[in-house]
Amino acid sequence: MALAALVMTMFGAATLTAPRAAAEGENYTIATDTTFAPFEFQDKQGNFVGIDMDLIRAIAEDQKFTVDIKPLGFDAALQAVQANQVDGVIAGMGITEDRKKVFDFSEPYFESGIQMGVLKDDDTIKSYEDLRGKRVSVKNGTQGSDFANSIKAKYGFEVVSFADSSTMFDEVKTGNSAAVFEDFPVLLYGIAQGNGFKTVTPKEDPTGYGFAVNKGQNPELLQKFNAGLDNLKKSGRYDEIVDGYLGEGASTDDNSFFGLIKSTFPILLEGLKMTVILTVVSIFFALILGVVFGLFRVSRSIWLRAIGTAFVDVFRGTPLLVQAFFIYFGIPSALGFQMSALTAGIITLSLNAGAYMTEIVRGGIESVDKGQMEASRSLGIGYLPTMRKVILPQAVRTMIPSYINQFVITLKDTSILSVIGIAELTQTGRIIIAGNYQSFNMWLIIGIIYFIVIMALTKLSDRLEKRLVK
């Protein structure tokens, strides 16, 4: 924990107070989902748009405050509010009695409901009775998930949950599930975008969407939201926003393979840039940690060896996903400070990769013949100077291939940081898919980009290794 605090200080990204705006003209940090079109998704310019996004910005303009949008994903957005990492959340969030125990809600800004959708060429499922013995897919934490689970015993089907809507739809396309339960505006928007589905049941379980803040926090923000919402409805601006996404004017784009490359490549490059930044910075700190704790691992001191072993065991013995959540949500919530997602991501990757680098350094040192140390010490050279001038230079040659390999692994591990809202390459792809539902073509494009980058790193590693051997 102390090490995490040290790195945070180096980046200058931690503050000692929870985010809280207080008056007119202040700025609020608002969390949202990333893949919930038409309420929140990313356009071709990389901007977050949708009913929720246009609505909160219009309310902010009406009430004379500003907002910073923090796209995290639904589950992470709710945790960020509870941890006081953000001031509020707007993410197509149904107002329920259970949620009222944890959050304070605004007046409902949209009346939604649940519908079942199946593939448009599927004529075997026309009602809930036809789901018996089959699987249906839902999105975590949504009203669709709650409704499906409430009737699954009655109609005899199994429910499988996913983190985002696009993956939920893909589950049905693969044939592993027979239907989806989704909020009807999201389902209708996807159908309009050509996702290949149709609705087969009436709208069920109507519920209102609400803007939410942490229980007992930011009451003035709720008041401003309610007042702004009322003004937008009276002026007609509210209807303009909704009709822009659900009305006949909502249009589709060129979703062919080359059309997607042309329209999404600038956004994907931004995602790739973030992936490279995360990887380079994290592997730099991981190397420092690896050398320090690697030396601890081969130290003559039992206490230093114990510290090195504990570091390796903790960060190799827990999933990277758990580490990311703990560092971004757990530590700030427990200690009462705010941390940026980028800082948390770099700390997470650095500590995780540092544990593996520790073992690489230890293995490299132990690969050097023990006679080298004995010969150096017999000449009167101290332990640390011998390690620095004799052992480590020889060990580096052995470590280079493993070091490059860890670089590649860390680059791929950046995709896990999407759970805390970092828009690296994989997350950028997921956000794009949320708006156009073209999962096959988009994942193919992203896979090609990863392949090119990793192959370039591999070739660089080979050339570097050959030069060192000469």
310-365 pLDDT, tens digit each? 999 999 999 999 999 899 888 888 887 878 888 999 999 999 999 999 999 888 88
Output the pLDDT for position 221: 94
- pTM across the whole model: 0.61
111-207 has the same fold as 21-109+210-246: yes
For the record, the structure tokens of 159 come out as 């429910």
Output the pLDDT for position 441: 83
Output the pLDDT for position 393: 77
pLDDT, one tens digit per residue, over 247-293 is 655 555 556 677 778 778 888 888 899 999 999 999 999 999 998 99
Output the pLDDT for position 346: 94
Minimal CA–CA distance to 425: which of 404, 405, 453, 403?
453
pLDDT, one tens digit per residue, over 43-81 is 767 788 889 999 999 999 999 999 999 888 788 889 889
Number of Cβ within a 10 Å radius of residue 51: 26
**5 pLDDT above the threshold of 50:** no
Output the pLDDT for position 254: 59
Output the pLDDT for position 73: 79
Q: How confident is the model at residue 3 (pLDDT cuts 50, 70, 90)?
A: very low
Q: How confident is the model at residue 307 (pLDDT cuts 50, 70, 90)?
A: very high
Query: Which sequence spans correspond to the domains of the chain?
Result: 21-109+210-246, 111-207, 257-469
- As a CATH number, domain 111-207 is 3.40.190.10
Output the pLDDT for position 377: 67
User: For the purposes of burial, counting CB atoms within 10 Å of the CB of 174, is it exposed (0-12), middle (13-18) or buried (19 or more)?
Assistant: exposed
Span 21-109+210-246 CATH architecture: 3-Layer(aba) Sandwich (3.40)
Output the pLDDT for position 468: 62
The chain-wide mean pLDDT, for the chain, equals: 83
**What's the gap between Cα 434 and its chain centre?**
14
Phi, psi (deg, nearest 5) at residue 337: -135, 170
Q: Are 79 and 421 in contact (CB under 8 A)?
A: no
- As a CATH number, domain 257-469 is 1.10.3720.10
